[in-house]
């Protein structure tokens, strides 16, 4: 049995371990030069292409001339843009040690080099009799400065979404209804099953501790699953056989990253709207699986009697679901997806994440290692 801890404190060694583990995960993921996202690459390429298309209009004599000029410039600007993005992504670990001003200057300098490189390609193909080296470098520096500013704004956009989610989640953790029911369940068990009562209070303590400790920008899926287990263990005491939970967990997905305090409110939503209103209770299923370069998380629950079996309207608090979607987009951009709907008489939440970037020897390859468990 674990040693009882005060809810508002965390022992020194565990606090240091938690801080070290979590700070190593999100560090550098919201930096100025976090250009290692597919969405960032697509937006950067589209931005440069739009600038070129508008700029070429000034010198084009006809639509065909505009198209020919745009094709030529695209042929040299696209490799230069990709080179800037690759350099920004590759040097992220080095650049993150620089002060903010130094990171800006480094980004602008890389842009100037990329612009000069594009001009060099024009010279190689014989399209520039008088190479505009200075103008090309200045244009590259300006475009790079705009891209860096966009990345900075994107990074800063994480803060309000994460703060709102943390406040909302903390409020739900300490809402009187949940705390009252949990303490009543513990009181009922103290005399007849003291060990079970102690385990219940430890789960409650861990829930509060997890909500109160600073998490950073990302945690592993394994951590979020563990938190969901704690919550469902508490609710299992309350609902008994009315709550039937099935876990189908692929260990290869454990290292996938997602925003903290994301899964537990979705599981709580499933219990609140799928199990609690039903006299017969309900079933809740949590599944994780690795599909190529994607990690899929599904949370499915049965519906109470009398609820329509087909609907596209998400159940629960619309603001909370929108917040989940926004936080996923801030962390993973276009690689993170979220959907919630009623399908085939079941309410299903689906989350898609990028697969963890681990060496092949660190990933379990045997699907038989999939953990299936029904408490």
Residue 288 has pLDDT above 90, yes or no: yes
Residue 55 has pLDDT above 60, yes or no: yes
Determine contact, residues 52/113, Cβ cutoff 8 Å: no
Residue 22 has pLDDT above 60, yes or no: no
Query: How many whole angstroms separate alpha carbon 238 and alpha carbon 231?
Result: 11
Q: Which of 56-70, 210-224, 246-260, 312-326 is predicted most confidently?
A: 246-260
Query: How many whole angstroms separate alpha carbon 120 and alpha carbon 127?
Result: 10
Query: How many whole angstroms separate alpha carbon 348 and alpha carbon 298?
Result: 7
Instruction: Please state, rounded to an integer, the average pLDDT across all residues of the chain.
Output: 75
> Which pLDDT tens digit goes with each residue over 320-367?
677 788 778 878 877 888 998 888 888 999 999 998 875 444 544 444
356 or 192, which is more confident:
356
Least confident range of 155-159, 184-188, 359-363 = 359-363
Query: How many whole angstroms separate alpha carbon 102 and alpha carbon 185?
Result: 57
Q: Residue 178 has which token pair?
A: 């949940």
Residue 217 has pLDDT above 80, yes or no: no
Q: Residue 255 has which token pair?
A: 């290292």
> Which pLDDT tens digit goes with each residue over 116-143?
888 888 888 887 668 888 988 998 899 8
Domain 158-373 in this protein, CATH class: alpha beta
pLDDT band at 160 (very low <50, low <70, confident <90, very high): low
Query: How many whole angstroms separate alpha carbon 235 and alpha carbon 346?
Result: 20
3-state secondary structure the chain: CCCCCCCCCCCHHHHHHHHHHHHHCCCCCCCCCCCCCHHHHHHHHHHHHHHHHHHHHCCCCCHHHHHHHHHHHHHHHHHHHHHHHHHHHHCHHHHCCCCHHHHHHHHHHHHHHHHHHHHHHHHHCCCCCCCCHHHHHHHHHHHHHHHHHHHHHHHHCHHHHHHHHHHHHHHHHCCHHHHHHHHHHHHHHHCCCHHHHHHHHHHHHHHHHHHHCCCCCCEEHHHHHHHHHHHHHHHHHHHHHHEEEEEEECHHHCCCEECCCCHHHHHHHHHHHHHCCCCCCEEEEEEEEEECCEEEEEEEEECCCCCCCCECCCCCCHHHHHHHHHHHHHHHHHHCEEEEEEECCEEEEEEEEECCCCCHHHCCCCHHHCEEECC
- For tokens 């290869």, the residue is 252
Query: In whole angstroms, how far apart are CA 70 and each of 53, 78, 85, 137?
Result: 6, 11, 21, 19
- Predicted confidence at residue 366, as pLDDT, reads 41
Query: How many whole angstroms separate alpha carbon 115 and alpha carbon 133?
Result: 8
pLDDT band at 11 (very low <50, low <70, confident <90, very high): very low
Residue 153 CB burial class (10 angstroms; 0-12, 13-18, ≥19): exposed
Beta-bridge mates of residue 275: none
Closest CA to 172 of 202, 210, 221: 210
55 or 21, which is more confident:
55
Displacement of CA 9 from its chain's centroid (Å): 27
Residue 289 has pLDDT above 70, yes or no: yes
- Predicted confidence at residue 212, as pLDDT, reads 61
192 or 20, which is more confident:
192
Threshold 0.75, pTM exceeds: no
Q: Residue 211 has which token pair?
A: 């909500």
User: Where exactly are the structural domains of the chain?
Assistant: 38-156, 158-373
Closest CA to 222 of 22, 12, 52, 79: 22
Query: How many whole angstroms separate alpha carbon 345 and alpha carbon 324?
Result: 23
Q: Which of 151-160, 195-204, 294-303, 324-333 is predicted most confidently?
A: 294-303
């Amino acid at each position: 049995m674990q040693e009882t801890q005060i809810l508002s404190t965390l022992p020194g060694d565990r606090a240091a371990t938690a801080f070290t583990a979590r700070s190593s995960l999100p560090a550098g993921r919201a930096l100025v030069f976090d250009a290692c996202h597919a969405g960032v690459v697509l937006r950067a390429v589209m931005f440069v292409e739009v600038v070129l298309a508008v700029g070429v209009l000034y010198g084009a004599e006809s639509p065909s001339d505009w198209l020919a000029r745009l094709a030529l410039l695209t042929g040299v600007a696209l490799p230069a843009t990709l080179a800037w993005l690759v350099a920004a992504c590759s040097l992220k670990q080095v650049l993150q040690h620089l002060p903010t001003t130094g990171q800006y200057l480094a980004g602008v300098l890389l842009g100037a080099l990329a612009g000069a490189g594009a001009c060099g390609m024009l010279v190689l193909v014989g399209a520039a009799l008088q190479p505009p080296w200075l103008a090309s470098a200045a244009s590259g520096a300006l475009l790079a400065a705009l891209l860096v500013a966009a990345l900075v704004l994107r990074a800063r956009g994480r803060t309000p979404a994460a703060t709102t989610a943390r406040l909302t989640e903390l409020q739900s953790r300490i809402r009187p209804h949940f705390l009252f029911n949990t303490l009543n369940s513990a009181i009922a068990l103290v005399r007849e099953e003291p060990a079970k009562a102690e385990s219940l209070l430890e789960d409650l303590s861990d829930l509060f501790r997890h909500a109160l400790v600073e998490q950073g920008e990302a945690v592993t899926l394994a951590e979020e699953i563990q938190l969901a287990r704690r919550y469902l263990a508490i609710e299992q005491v309350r609902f008994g056989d009315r709550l039937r939970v099935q876990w189908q967990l692929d260990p290869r997905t454990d290292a996938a990253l997602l925003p903290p305090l994301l899964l537990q409110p979705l599981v709580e939503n499933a219990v609140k709207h799928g199990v609690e209103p039903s006299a017969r209770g309900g079933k809740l299923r949590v599944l994780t699986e690795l599909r190529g370069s994607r990690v899929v998380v599904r949370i499915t629950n049965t519906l109470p009697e009398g609820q329509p079996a087909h609907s596209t309207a998400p159940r629960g608090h619309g603001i909370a679901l929108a917040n989940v979607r926004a936080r996923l987009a801030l962390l993973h951009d276009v690689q993170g997806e979220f959907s919630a709907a009623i399908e085939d008489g079941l309410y299903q939440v689906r989350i898609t994440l990028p697969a963890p970037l681990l060496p092949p020897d660190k990933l379990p390859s045997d699907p038989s290692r999939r953990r299936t468990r029904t408490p």
